[in-house]
Structure 1
Amino acid sequence: MRALIRHLLPRSLTGQMVGLLLLALALSQAIAFVVVSDERIVMLKGAAKEEFLMRSASTARLLEATPPALHAEILRAVGASYTRYWVATENTTDAGKWTREAWNQLAEGMMTRTRHGHPIPDPLADGWASWIATAAAATNAAAWRDLPPRAGLFTGPARFLYLEEANAMGLTVQLGDGRWLNAFFAKRMPSMWSSQSYLSLGLTALALSIIAVFIARRIAQPLQQLGNAAEKLGRGEDVAPLPERGPLDVRRTAEAFNRMQTRLRRFVEDRTRMLAAIGHDLRTPLTSLRLRAEFVSDEETREKLLSTVEEMQAMTEATLVFAREDATGEATRTVNFPALLESTCADLADLGWNVSFAEAEPMTYRCRPDALRRALRNLVENAVRYGGQARVALSQATDGIEITVDDAGPGIPDCDLDRVFQPFVRLEHSRNRETGGVGLGLSIARSIARAHGGDVVLANRSGGLRALIRLPRSA
């Protein structure tokens, strides 16, 4: 259930803000509806009761002031679709019997109302069956209660009856000639919801949605820029400083990102310069050692010293090349990625290496092509040198792309699969120390892949070793 709710909820900031504001609007309207509805019902009932009593009192005075021959016409004229008046010679104390008579009087009056000899349609006529059933249920709890004397309202005794469920009320008041005037009022309460209510609610929701979209976009746009810049920075691209605008919290976040980017760039530059300086400064003592080794009289000792110096010289030169290329700062651009890999493999095959590339579907990728070319060349070189061949393939994964380099060598122990990525590490048993290399190839390849937001991993497989370059999808 929670997974379904999370799936249905909007994921974007704009969608969530619009949804929350509309939910708040619905809750506020519901609360206001409950409160206003109660107050409105109380006011309407009070106004209806006051009008009913005043109209009944006027009718009673009119009957007392006119001849009895006109009473039937007067009662028919003062009646309405929701009010009926009739005169009885005797008063009844049975509220149930009187109520049933009142409903019949109201129904009969509605069915017989005419104007100029034509019946007048009434929208309440279709609902009389349900009204009568409601009245019968309400009658059980209804009871007469005497009305207190009111100055100038009724000249004789009066009793009042109220039917809560049907929003109906009855009145019986004694006239001057001893007869009783009976009055009955029943009217459906108007609905709180009308076309104007729906229109008002719709316009309010539209206005809130527009405001929410504007506010959310004002917040989301800088956050989206921050996310894109962080992704590019993680892939090693040059990122321009973010514009520091928007709300205070967002502006402070952009300022913190810009400061972090400046510090990271300064740290990498300082470390690269230091590495290049160390490699450069090592050249002088290495040259001095080479000259002194030449004067060693023992030939075997001299050869060992010169071999060690040459190895140190090769490591130093490799370090300088790595530092120099890292400091160059190659620009990121979009390339035809399969063509880049295929051309690299073709160049190495022209050198006599046993390299092949499996055909792949065309795709574009945003990267630093020279750096990735070097990473692939290092992996292919290791595969050919220690496994006799390199089979390169490109495939798409769920979260990015993968480049596999398979060889046909003996593989390496599982405990060394990650250790070989450390700088200047060479395995004694599975990798012959005298075949060349200083142990920086895998380190450089992983460094390049991680600078693109990916990684390089090794895995033993049936019949050889697999080097896998994982790269994230291009933005």
Structure 2
Amino acid sequence: MNWFWAKSLAAQIIWFMLPVLLIAQSVGFVATADERAKELREIALDEFVVRTTTAVLAIETTPSTYQDGLVGVMGTNYSRFWLSLEGPGDVNAWRRDAWRRLHQPLLRNGSEDTNPGGEADTEGADWGVLNNRALKSINRVENARWEPFELKTGEQVTQAQIAYLDDNCGAGLVAQMPDGRWLNAAFFKPPKAFLWKSPTIVTLVITTIVLSGLAIVVARRIALPMRRLTSAAESLGRGERNGHIPEEGPDDIRRTAVAFNQMQERLSRFLADRTAMLAAIGHDLRTPITTMRLRSEFVADAETKSRLLETIEEMQTITEATLELTQEQSIDEPTRPVDIAALVESICEDLADLGRDVHYIDNGIISYRCKPDSLRRAIRNLIENALRYGKQARVSVSSSEAGVNIQIDDSGPGIPDSEIERVFLPFVRLEESRNANTGGIGLGLAIARNIARAHGGDVLLKNLSEGLRVILHLPPIPDELTQRVATATAWGNSRKSA
């Protein structure tokens, strides 16, 4: 799971999309909330005007004896109505009185006539909150004033005046009744903080889940072909034949898979053609070599004859080695997991049984997926080189995160630093006698490095204070990668055959 969130393509897409989603949703919600709040304020104000118009009509059609009681029960949670003998007068004083009445319990709001002293019932009002609220609202509204307003009650129009209690959600209306008194109406409906309420959160959660699911699907559609391609490229570098990998996925990835398949086929054809050409050359050389051997038998001078036969023998040896090399390259050996430590130990034991001075240092079981027959030949060549030039060989195998190292130390004269890379060239020997019995034919290191590089590794040489150290390095092969290669190859081959 930690790997998924740290390295997965799906996780990276999700982590990239979620902040963008959150910002986009937040901006959208804020913009929508502002528009919605504005519409709600307009609706609430229209509702207040309609209720006030209804109140005017009801009071005009109600006997004066019942008017005060009627006004007292007209209030709602967000509005208050009361009758007064005087007009609105100073707008700020009226707003303060309206705020006070809005903060009183509903059934305690009546007209001034209900309190002979002209004081409204203020029992239960929070004067601290009221005064702060009124002061803030008065300070927020600049140049507050009464503005003319018409209340249409059927065919009749009642002249009124309107003022705002604050800058958003409160308003007041005063209208003169036929009997000379004034109907006062105050309204305040605070906005609701709906931006992060449960519907918004639920919407965000659902959107996040849906987009995360889509991101995972898209990422898997991209990542699966990429993993197959990566596995195939990795195994191709180790000399494995992958077959035809599936050419699917988005266009860019599909074209990459097509190009990889074409490259793989071209490389295979190139290697096959080169191997066939070298094999043909080596095979065709046998005939003239045999002819030369036969003709040399007719040479009368013994010394000349001996030299000719030695040259022919050397040519024969080189030709046979070339044929052996090309035949080995043409063999398509499958890779399989082996205990590489046991493989190296068996080579050392075989040479020790022949009386050679070989010492193997056991470091336990080391499993590795390789071409065991090819690797066996490379290791044997390196150990035999150490025995030929250094008289003895100390062999060990170690494993780490960097891969597997097969180390061979000898006690010979070493190799000049300037010649270390050149000795890997075919038929290059530092021993000047050209005697195959003392210096070989110069293919051992070349073959060993070719095999190592076919596995994705290399052969390295290092001079010691006494002797030479040879390291055959093999890179790590994750088991997961190997399984992916096998699955992708089998699936691609089955589709191709179908």
Inter-partner Cα distance in structure 2 for 1:397 and 1:288: 55
Query: Match of 1:163, SS?
Result: coil
Q: Does 1:459 align with 2:455?
A: no
For the aligned residue pairs, the C-alpha RMSD in angstroms reads 3.0
Q: Does 1:408 align with 2:407?
A: no
Q: Which residue of 2 aligns with 1:119?
A: none
Alpha-carbon offset, residue 219 of structure 1: 2.8
Q: Does the CA contact (< 8 Å) of 1:96 and 1:140 recur in 2?
A: no
Q: Which amino acid aligns with 1:59?
A: A
Q: Does the CA contact (< 8 Å) of 1:411 and 1:430 recur in 2?
A: no
Partner of residue 430 from structure 2, selected from 427, 431, 445:
427
Q: Does the CA contact (< 8 Å) of 2:103 and 2:125 recur in 1?
A: no
Partner of residue 221 from structure 2, selected from 199, 218, 221:
218
Q: Does the CA contact (< 8 Å) of 1:337 and 1:364 recur in 2?
A: yes
Q: Which amino acid aligns with 1:246?
A: G
Q: Which residue of 2 aligns with 1:120?
A: none
Q: Does the CA contact (< 8 Å) of 2:91 and 2:146 recur in 1?
A: no
Q: Which residue of 1 aligns with 2:185?
A: 183
Alpha-carbon offset, residue 211 of structure 1: 2.7
Q: Which residue of 2 aligns with 1:140?
A: 139
Inter-partner Cα distance in structure 1 for 2:360 and 2:20: 60
Cα distance change of structure 1 residues 61 and 431 upon mapping to structure 2, 3 Å threshold: farther
Inter-partner Cα distance in structure 2 for 1:260 and 1:128: 87
Inter-partner Cα distance in structure 2 for 1:419 and 1:158: 106
Tell me whether 277-286 or 204-213 shows the greater mean CA deviation. Answer: 204-213
Larger RCO of the pair (alpha carbons < 8 Å, separation 6+):
2
Alpha-carbon offset, residue 198 of structure 1: 2.1
Q: Which amino acid aligns with 2:104?
A: E
Q: Which amino acid aligns with 1:107?
A: H
Q: Does the CA contact (< 8 Å) of 1:401 and 1:470 recur in 2?
A: yes
Q: Which amino acid aligns with 1:157?
A: A
Q: Does 1:65 align with 2:65?
A: no
Alpha-carbon offset, residue 216 of structure 1: 2.5
Q: Does 1:322 align with 2:321?
A: no
Inter-partner Cα distance in structure 2 for 1:385 and 1:130: 103
Q: Which amino acid aligns with 1:31?
A: V
Alpha-carbon offset, residue 236 of structure 1: 0.8
Q: Which residue of 2 aligns with 1:52?
A: 48
Alpha-carbon offset, residue 361 of structure 1: 3.1
Q: Does 1:449 align with 2:448?
A: no
Query: Match of 1:473, SS?
Result: coil
Describe how 1:42-441 pairs up with structure 2 within 5 A: 42-109=38-105, 133=132, 135-142=134-141, 143-152=144-153, 155-164=158-167, 167-190=169-192, 191-428=194-431, 435-441=438-444
Cα distance change of structure 1 residues 398 and 110 upon mapping to structure 2, 3 Å threshold: farther
Inter-partner Cα distance in structure 1 for 2:410 and 2:130: 90
Alpha-carbon offset, residue 453 of structure 1: 1.2
Inter-partner Cα distance in structure 1 for 2:6 and 2:166: 49
Q: Which amino acid aligns with 1:169?
A: A
Alpha-carbon offset, residue 443 of structure 1: 0.9
Describe how 1:28-39 pairs up with structure 2 within 5 A: 28-39=24-35
Alpha-carbon offset, residue 327 of structure 1: 0.9
Q: Does the CA contact (< 8 Å) of 2:72 and 2:108 recur in 1?
A: no
Q: Which amino acid aligns with 2:135?
A: A
Alpha-carbon offset, residue 9 of structure 1: 7.5
Q: Which amino acid aligns with 1:144?
A: R
Alpha-carbon offset, residue 300 of structure 1: 4.1
Cα distance change of structure 1 residues 126 and 294 upon mapping to structure 2, 3 Å threshold: farther
Query: Match of 2:104, SS?
Result: helix
Cα distance change of structure 1 residues 80 and 439 upon mapping to structure 2, 3 Å threshold: same
Identity of aligned residues (%): 47
Alpha-carbon offset, residue 43 of structure 1: 0.9
**What's the TM-score, normalizing by structure 2?**
0.83
Tell me whether 445-454 or 91-100 shows the greater mean CA deviation. Answer: 91-100
Q: Does the CA contact (< 8 Å) of 1:335 and 1:366 recur in 2?
A: yes
Inter-partner Cα distance in structure 1 for 2:306 and 2:229: 58
**What's the TM-score, normalizing by structure 1?**
0.86
Cα distance change of structure 1 residues 316 and 84 upon mapping to structure 2, 3 Å threshold: same
Deviation string 1:302-331 (CA, Å, 9 cap, x unpaired) is 433333322222111111111111112111
Q: Does the CA contact (< 8 Å) of 2:148 and 2:159 recur in 1?
A: no
Partner of residue 13 from structure 2, selected from 6, 14, 17:
17
Q: What 5-or-longer segments of structure 2 have no aligned partner?
A: 110-123, 483-498
Inter-partner Cα distance in structure 1 for 2:440 and 2:106: 108
Tell me whether 16-25 or 345-354 shows the greater mean CA deviation. Answer: 16-25
Alpha-carbon offset, residue 438 of structure 1: 1.0
Query: Match of 2:159, SS?
Result: coil
Q: Does the CA contact (< 8 Å) of 1:336 and 1:363 recur in 2?
A: yes
Q: Which amino acid aligns with 1:355?
A: V
Q: Which amino acid aligns with 1:147?
A: P
Alpha-carbon offset, residue 50 of structure 1: 0.7
